[in-house]
Amino acid sequence: MPKFVYAFAEGSKDMKDVLGGKGANLAEMTNLGLPVPPGFIITTEACRTYLEQGHEPAELAGQVDEHLAALQDAMGKRLGDAADPLLVSVRSGAAASMPGMMETVLNVGLNDESVPGLARMADDERFAWDSYRRLIQMFGKTVLDIDGEHFHDAFEAVKRERGTDSDLDLDAVDLRRVVDAFKGVVAEHAGREFPQDPREQLDLTVRAVFQSWNSPRAITYRRQEQIPGDLGTAVSVVAMVFGNLGPDSGTGVAFTRDPATGAQGIYGDYLANAQGEDVVAGIRNTLPLAELEQLDPESYRRLLEIMATLERHYRDLCDIEFTIERGRLWMLQTRIGKRTAAAAFVVACQFVDEGLIGLDEALRRVTGGQLAQLMFPRFDADAAKDPLTVGMNASPGAATGAVVFDSAAAVSRAAAGERVILVRRETNPDDLHGMIAAQGVLTSHGGRTSHAAVVARGMGKTCVCGAEELDIDVAARRLVGPGGVEVAEGDMLSIDGSTGEVFLGEVPVVDSPVVEYFEGVLGPDDEAADELIRAVHRIMTHADARRRLGVRANADTDADAARARRFGAEGIGLCRTEHMFLGERREHVERLVLAETDDERSAALDELLPLQRADFIALFSAMDGLPVTIRLLDPPLHEFLPDLTELSVRVALAEERGEPDAKDVALLAAVRRLNEHNPMFGLRGVRLGILVPGLFGMQVRAIAQAVAQLRRDGADVQPEIMIPLVGAVQELQTVAEETNAVLADESRRSEVPLDALIGTMIELPRAALTAGQIAEAAHFFSFGTNDLTQTTWGFSRDDVEGSFFSRYLERGIFGISPFETIDADGVGRLVRLAVDEGRASRPDLKLGICGEHGGDPASVHFFHDAGLDYVSCSPFRVPVARLEAGRAAVADV
């Protein structure tokens, strides 16, 4: 027979799945010998069965009978006994914490007959009537679904008649009238009398708790917190103890340490002469817990003792709820306390110092998400209220500045020393200079993998994207927000990339000392370093010692590379050379595209060569002694040319004026020729290298010359040349042949040995499926999981998030965008396959990942498991990746 009910003594903290978090911890505290009122727990399985079948499992009633009998014996009281009734609380509690999402009813068991008995036993008539009115009110709302307003109104009416607005002024006679009024509310709104049979009260309440698993707010909360919808809640039934029995009674909540900073001490609130929900509801002002020392020194001492016991036992910060009934302390709940990101680091190290946990465990207790939070400047919480709108939180941070609507304005205002926010419908490579100049980027279109988001994240720049309520009119230089609020160029705006909030005006920000630490400006031993910096340093040091994954950075400039290195990057995993073809260099690309003869083409490439060489010298110098992966040109050439529509208009207008521009006409023909319906699947990557003679050769030559020069100067340069978008080994072989020839040629000329690894990105399913063949021609693979996700799912990475993804997320088709966290079952399967088959054909194949997933905590764990050598991510995410790689290494030790 399935066991649906457990006595506290039968459970433990490790039985959360069965008993829920609350029940499991009540059981644990009971077994620790702490003062917990007796009770029992109905399992999550009983709830699941109820929800599946629509009625309680047949065995439940009998098992409840048994445990109720034991509870009555333990208390020496009986449910429904008119002379001395046993009352119980009935509380929900799932395996995962869902604070306030499900139901609780107190004082179950009380009825018309037993109120006088309770009054006599407590020697307090007021208390008995107050307990009864609370039961009817909670039962009415929770079990009978009556709107709480009706009870509130009835209560207020009695208070009004009494000429008071405080509950405390009501005496027993008044509360008896409240009870009568409440019974009237039940009769009127539930179409039945308040049930007098205590067992019926109990059974109906348990059922209501089961049902509250599927209340709309519980469903919403689970979706947001990614808690599975089929776990069900347990129900704990506990003998009531009363904090509302006079001044020597009370109730409180406490943390064993400060959950905001991790500082040790007494953090909590106490409310004398009150029941649990009064504290949370904030009806009356609570006292700081420390004041309990004066009110009830004995209970206070005992409470401190218990907190110490709990911390030693759980080896973690705990939060508790307790009640004092006439000088006697009772523990009603404990659990591992939620904490801020800063406290997570500080507290973990405190527990190490106290000898309760080791550094591995400390590492397990902090997350990359928490570290990321600590790294970004934040808006001062008191000042950041009432956002204008909320978009997608694309790249964290808090940025404030004057609104600008294009790159030119961003650059010129920034040059004049102004802070600016670049506001666009969406961004494209043309906006790069503006993005660099701006404090933050705000778009009304596109999702978390849109151009704005990816580039901003790469630069560690704050970005809110897809703020669709904003109507952005670039030509008129203004935007219109909800309610017709207008923002003109130059007006101040503040954007929070961690929450997606957009505020009017300037919200003050506070800087992150944790970034100063990673920058090397603030050392852990400096006087200015606080406990948080020392804790971050200690845990990061341990993560580095433990991790097996290397961590590199995606960086295209020496400045980014240098920062990445300070942040702990062990090389560059992806230099996107296309970012070096923008600005003034576009002209050369235009010339390359327009070239009609070999000579013209060579001339264009010759112009680019020294520029590229200088780029690479800067990059290699910044990463002296570490590997640098340079990816040859990837995007379609038309991205460097003017927009087709704009150019067509320009040419047409010029012709109309009778002043045709020959260069524009030629350019338009080229743009038309290169125009593609699906550019992402078109002439890009390796295809470009094969089709445009000399293009990849020029890039390789620039790399070779940079390496030769630096090596001659004694530098330790470790170049890795990477070919994008390969789908067949023959493509790679074709390019590798040309690459090797150029390397050999430059080596001969410079008399410097020019060895370089040649590898490929794996970003097409065919590449993954034929990885064994491709590895024969590649020294390394780097998984381009942005494109691999796009090509595996058939999702356009630039469009989906603004389009149907929100519905997919709402419907639970996936819990998180596959562009954010690697889709382990699909894309991840291709990764594993390519790892296995690649290594089988070349055992020393180097394996990395350089898509956006490289800095995503959950994905880092996946890549650790898949056995990659390194992850590569934007410089700002390097510390997060280091931490998560360390956590992955200790996850199952």
Binding residues vs ligand PEP (CB under 6 A): 574, 576, 634, 763, 784-787, 850-851
Place of tokens 């009640």: 323
Nearer to Mg ion, 623 or 723 (CB): 723
- The yes-or-no answer on residue 451 being catalytic is yes
Among 842, 848, 853, smallest CA distance to 881 is for: 853
Dihedral pair phi/psi, residue 520, rounded to 5°:
85, 5
Q: Which is nearer to ligand PEP, 537 or 579 (CB)?
A: 579
Q: Are 88 and 108 in contact (CB under 8 A)?
A: yes
Closer residue to Mg ion in complex, CB, 261/791: 791
Q: Which does 337 bind (CB under 5 to 8 A by kind): ligand PEP, Mg ion, none?
A: none
User: Scanning the structure block, which residue is given the tokens 């596109």?
Assistant: 446
Per rule CB under 5 A, count of chain residues that contact Mg ion: 3
By beta-carbon proximity to ligand PEP, the closer residue of 199 and 829 is 829
Strands (E), 679-823: 718-723, 757-762, 780-783
Contact by Cβ (8 Å): 136, 194: yes
Closer Cβ to ligand PEP, 13 or 579, answer by number: 579
Nearer to ligand PEP, 233 or 817 (CB): 817
Stretch that binds Mg ion, among 69-77, 521-529, 760-768, 813-821 (CB under 5 A): 760-768
Asked if residue 768 lies in contact with residue 833, where contact means CB atoms within 8 angstroms, the answer is yes
Tokens of 39: 């009770």
Can you list the pairs that 750-755 forms with residues at least 24 positions away whose Cβ atoms lie under 8 Å? 750/704, 750/705, 750/708, 750/709, 750/712, 752/707, 752/708, 752/711, 752/712, 753/711, 754/704, 754/707, 754/708
* 477 vs 687 by CB, closer to Mg ion: 687
* Contacts by 140-145, CB closer than 8 A, 24 or more apart: 140/182, 140/185, 140/186, 140/189, 140/190, 140/194, 142/103, 142/104, 142/105, 142/205, 142/208, 142/209, 142/212, 143/105, 143/204, 143/205, 143/207, 143/208, 144/186, 144/189, 144/190, 144/192, 145/190
Q: Which stretch binds Mg ion (CB under 5 A): 316-324, 468-476, 558-566, 786-794?
A: 786-794
Which of 594, 574, 580 shows the shortest CA–CA distance to 638?
594
Note whether 886 binds Mg ion by CB under 5 A: no
Q: How far is the CB of 851 from ligand PEP (least distance, A)?
A: 3
Q: Quick one: CA torsion of 521, 522, 525, 530, rounded to 10 degrees?
A: 180
**Binding of Mg ion at residue 784 (CB under 5 A)?**
yes
- Shortest Cβ distance from residue 786 to ligand PEP (Å)? 3
Cβ closest to ligand PEP, residue 269 vs residue 634: 634
Q: Facing residues of 288 across strands?
A: 269
Place of tokens 């995962």: 96
Q: Which residues, in sequence order, are CB contacts of 69 under 8 Å at separation 6+?
A: none
**C-alpha 641: how far from chain center:** 38
State yes or no: is 542 an active-site residue. Answer: no
759 binds, among ligand PEP, Mg ion, none (CB under 5 to 8 A by kind): none
CB of 788 to Mg ion, least distance (A): 8
Nearer to Mg ion among residue 103 and residue 787 (C-beta)? 787
Q: State in angstroms the smallest separation of the CB of 241 from ligand PEP.
A: 59
Q: How many residues does the chain have?
A: 893
Q: Which does 568 bind (CB under 5 to 8 A by kind): ligand PEP, Mg ion, none?
A: none
* Shortest distance, position 394 Cβ to ligand PEP, whole Å: 15
CA distance 111 to 132: 7
Nearest residue (beta carbon) to Mg ion: 787
- Residue 787 contacts Mg ion per CB under 5 A: yes
Place of tokens 């997606």: 500
Active-site residue, from 150, 445, 451, 864:
451
Query: Minimal distance in Å, beta carbon 580 to ligand PEP?
Result: 13
CB of 16 or CB of 877, closer to ligand PEP: 877
| Distance of closest approach, residue 682 Cβ to Mg ion, in angstroms | 13
The entry of Mg ion, ligand PEP, none near residue 574 (CB within 5 to 8 angstroms by kind) is ligand PEP
Q: Retrieve residue 324's tokens.
A: 């004092």
Question: 878, 564 in Cβ contact below 8 A?
Answer: yes
Residues 757/780, Cβ–Cβ less than 8 Å: yes
* CA 267 – CA 214 distance, rounded (Å): 34
Rounded distance, CA 738 to CA 719, Å?
Answer: 17
Least Å distance, CB 786 to Mg ion, is: 5
Stretch 14-53: interaction string toward Mg ion, x if CB under 5 A: ----------------------------------------
The full DSSP string for 292-339 is HHHH-HHHHHHHHHHHHHHHHHHTS-EEEEEEEETTEEEEEEEEEPP-
Segment contacting Mg ion by CB under 5 A, of 358-366, 393-401, 688-696, 780-788: 780-788
Distance CA 647, CA 387 (A): 39
Name the DSSP class of 777: T
Chain mean position to CA 678 = 33
- Torsion angle (degrees, nearest 10) of CA 734, 737, 742, 744: 180
Measured from the CB of residue 868, what is the shortest distance to ligand PEP in angstroms? Answer: 14
Q: How far is the CB of 885 from ligand PEP (least distance, A)?
A: 18
Residues 673-712 that bind Mg ion (CB under 5 A): none
* Annotated catalytic residue, options 47, 349, 465, 850: 850
How many other CB atoms are found less than 10 A from the CB of residue 323?
23
Query: Which listed option, Mg ion, ligand PEP, none, makes contact with residue 850 (CB within 5 to 8 Å by class)?
Result: ligand PEP
Nearer to ligand PEP, 787 or 801 (CB): 787
Closest approach, Cβ 777 to ligand PEP, in A, equals 20
CB 768 within 8 A of CB 746: no
Using CB distances below 5 to 8 A depending on partner kind, what does residue 576 bind out of ligand PEP, Mg ion, none?
Answer: ligand PEP
Binding site for Mg ion (CB under 5 A): 763, 784, 787
Active site residues: 451, 850
